[in-house]
Structure 1
Amino acid sequence: MTILNKILNLKLSNNDNTSSTSSTTPESISSPSTPSSTSIDQHIIDSGFEISDCSETCEDCTFHYPKSLKFEENEPLWHSTKPFGLHLNISTGKTDWPHDATGLKGTLSNKIANWASEKSGKTSIGNIKVTCSSLGNDELLIDDEYIQQKKGDVLILPYFLWIKGIYIDEVDEIFNKLLNIIDENNLYNKQTNQQQELKFETIKQQIPTIIEDENKAYVLFCSHKTRDKRCGITAPIMKKEMDLYLREVGLYRDFGDLTPGGVKIAFINHIGGHKFAANVIIYLKNTGQNIWLGLCKPNNVKPIVDQCIIGEGKVWPVKVRILQKFNPIEW
């Protein structure tokens, strides 16, 4: 209980990492405008999430990480990462990458990362996160342009959209259009003080190659072993445990299973905070919620599925790194 009390009594710092975030970016519980005297519990509730009244651990789970792994158990998770407005995941079919996963010049991932770096923080969307993911397709095995990373597929979160078969020289045009659509919607909502949902038809008209992802949720684990062995060891263990439970509740979707309404799990490269492994990033399609948890262990898997995913946004203050509420797309 010492750690819990420490976190719940934590005051928001005046030099908070989110100070540069525009008011039209997604609602984040780390908003610097929140009164410092308000507890983390209240921030969670005000941001459209619920505090779970269930334990974050499952007593039935007896699997443990290797004892050789050490984590930062005493440092508060709250505010240990920065908010972002867009997350672009490039499918690579891999579970580990070079130290700089997007650093190889002449590749699609490098082009997208450079585009995001140029645009981040310059519109209402705020920061743009780019990761490589383990998501894949047959083309990554048989198509030379995919294999050489001249062409690829990109999952756009939190909006559950795909751009498939995008070439390097199409990146600026396509993602500039997408950024403008989201930015205009954000600005309209701010100016009118209304919540106008983004419409898939509107996006499709301007970007004909965009398609819908029909999963209900994505769960992303950092597995970047080249950066830190803790991520490379914990991520596969967490995925295995989650796969087993998702099968029990009928939500498991493996490679190639396009049945709507499932939960897809993927590995991604470095996202910050290796000492907080296992890092778990969850996106919920219907609500637009983004949940980022840290220090997750196998005995947290069942509660995460039951509370965060099926329960649509129920969380535990002691596990939260950041929460964000995005404007979901109207399908």
Structure 2
Amino acid sequence: MQSLLERGRAYLTPGAASSQKANGAGDDGFFSTAKAETALFPKTDAAVDGDECLHDCETCTITYPRKFDVDESDKLYGHVSGWDTHLIVGTGKTDWVRDVAHEKGSVMEALEKHSLLQYERAEGRGRAKLRLSASNLPTGSDHSDVDMDDGSNCFLLPSWLLIEHVQPAEVVDLVAEVVAPSVTNKTLVRPTTTSVNDAATPSSASSLSPPPSSSPSPQTPPAHLPAPNTRFLTRTRPIPHSALILMCSHRTRDARCGQSAPLLRAEFERHLRPLGLYRDLHDERPGGVGIYFINHVGGHKYSANVIIYRKRGREYNEAVQGIWLARVRPADCENIVRYTILQGKLVKPESQLRGGFDRERGLLSW
């Protein structure tokens, strides 16, 4: 059985398809729809990956309430609407009004008001769909040492950007100056330059930990930062984490999500901490895995819904993969950490994968 060390190293090595796809130029035309779950993300193989569980069942003490019922019969894969970019807006809350666009005075309300969930991409690249999520990501005031209006801290994916102190009045400029020029889920990804020493770091979770000199120099800002003449330049920086776990906690829409999200977070923490990968809401150490609650994503009858964004190692500065899982239970968290977060593999693709993308291989589920 491969050790966790060896499996973690696999996360550093681009797949075989990268040499064929990484040098492509442009968007969309290079992408195709993966017709089956395992065509998009590989399924684990016991002969290669080892046992699916490393613990006795007695150690899994976190379970859902007895009446936590979900649909187990519907086919999940291929039935979610695609999106191009994902804006996650910090509200500091774990539950919201039924429609987050009705949160008074919020960035979400402003985006809806200005009809910005469909937008024109920069440089004539056509229209794109913005997926909008409210989140428990701390608000701007929670991260600020200066006296200013709160605003909202936002994540932009797949660009892997954190935009700080966004005000509702700024959303038109935010979309025009930051979102529209950014990469999308249909932009082929190219690895950034890494040294041989970085790629060979002998650590079980080395792929999710930054190299010693990982901080960008002031002379070389990270890719996809807004143009220097925009108001957002000094408020934009890379998301500090190497992977993100997003879970629906929208109790107002469905009580099951309010029940499942905190239980899953506790179980993910239990498996991430021994690897040195757990990051709480205020932990901005580079690397590791950030866990955030978001609002309604659709398909509550398939709770719990979990969306994972992976950078896939140090050679990438952007999200390479987005993986949308459903029917996730606490007992699944160990394997999601061991296989999905560290390696991009799935243990139960036929029953849990709703959709996603792989920008390195040029594949989408939609």
Superposed displacement of residue 177, structure 1: 2.1
Provide closer, same or farther for how the CA distance between residues 283 and 196 of structure 1 changes in structure 2, counting only shifts above 3 A. Answer: closer
Is the CA contact 2:246–2:308 (under 8 Å) kept in the aligned structure 1? yes
Match of 1:222 in 2: 248
Q: Structure 1, residues 257-300: CA drift from partner, whole Å, max 9, x if none?
A: 11111101010000000001010100012461000000000110
In the TM superposition, 1:123-202 aligns within 5 A as 124=126, 126-137=128-139, 139=141, 145-146=149-150, 151-182=151-182, 200-202=222-224
Match of 1:260 in 2: 286
Query: 2: CA distance between counterparts of 1:27 and 1:234?
Result: 34
Q: Structure 1, residues 27-66: CA drift from partner, whole Å, max 9, x if none?
A: 57xx2xx6xxx6543x22xxxx322225766753253211
- Letter matched to residue 359 of structure 2: F
In the TM superposition, 1:1-331 aligns within 5 A as 24=28, 27=31, 31=33, 39-41=36-38, 43-44=39-40, 49-54=41-46, 60=57, 61-114=60-113, 115-119=115-119, 124=126, 126-137=128-139, 139=141, 145-146=149-150, 151-182=151-182, 200-206=222-228, 207-208=232-233, 209-285=235-311, 286=316, 288-314=320-346, 316-318=348-350, 319-326=352-359
Decide which moves more: 207-216 or 173-182: 173-182
Is the CA contact 2:62–2:263 (under 8 Å) kept in the aligned structure 1? no
Provide closer, same or farther for how the CA distance between residues 158 and 315 of structure 1 changes in structure 2, counting only shifts above 3 A. Answer: farther
Identity %: 30
Provide closer, same or farther for how the CA distance between residues 248 and 24 of structure 1 changes in structure 2, counting only shifts above 3 A. Answer: same
Query: 1: CA distance between counterparts of 2:129 and 2:29?
Result: 9
Query: 1: CA distance between counterparts of 2:169 and 2:191?
Result: 30
- Letter matched to residue 86 of structure 2: H
Is the CA contact 1:91–1:152 (under 8 Å) kept in the aligned structure 2? yes
For residue 220 of structure 1, give the secondary structure of its aligned residue in structure 2.
strand
Query: 1: CA distance between counterparts of 2:111 and 2:75?
Result: 32
Superposed displacement of residue 137, structure 1: 4.7
Query: 2: CA distance between counterparts of 1:215 and 1:196?
Result: 19
Superposed displacement of residue 117, structure 1: 2.5
Count, aligned residues: 285
Q: Structure 1, residues 181-215: CA drift from partner, whole Å, max 9, x if none?
A: 236x999x7xxxx8667983453434513211121
Is the CA contact 1:218–1:282 (under 8 Å) kept in the aligned structure 2? yes
Query: 2: CA distance between counterparts of 1:40 and 1:246?
Result: 26
Is the CA contact 1:116–1:129 (under 8 Å) kept in the aligned structure 2? no
Query: Mind listing any 5+ residue stretches in structure 2 that lack a counterpart?
Result: 1-26, 193-220, 362-366
Is the CA contact 1:77–1:321 (under 8 Å) kept in the aligned structure 2? yes
Query: 2: CA distance between counterparts of 1:195 and 1:93?
Result: 32
Is the CA contact 1:85–1:125 (under 8 Å) kept in the aligned structure 2? no
Query: Mind listing any 5+ residue stretches in structure 1 that lack a counterpart?
Result: 1-22
Query: 1: CA distance between counterparts of 2:291 and 2:185?
Result: 29
Provide closer, same or farther for how the CA distance between residues 202 and 153 of structure 1 changes in structure 2, counting only shifts above 3 A. Answer: closer
- Letter matched to residue 218 of structure 1: L
Provide closer, same or farther for how the CA distance between residues 145 and 284 of structure 1 changes in structure 2, counting only shifts above 3 A. Answer: same
Superposed displacement of residue 123, structure 1: 5.5
Superposed displacement of residue 174, structure 1: 2.4
For residue 264 of structure 1, give the secondary structure of its aligned residue in structure 2.
strand
- Letter matched to residue 276 of structure 2: G
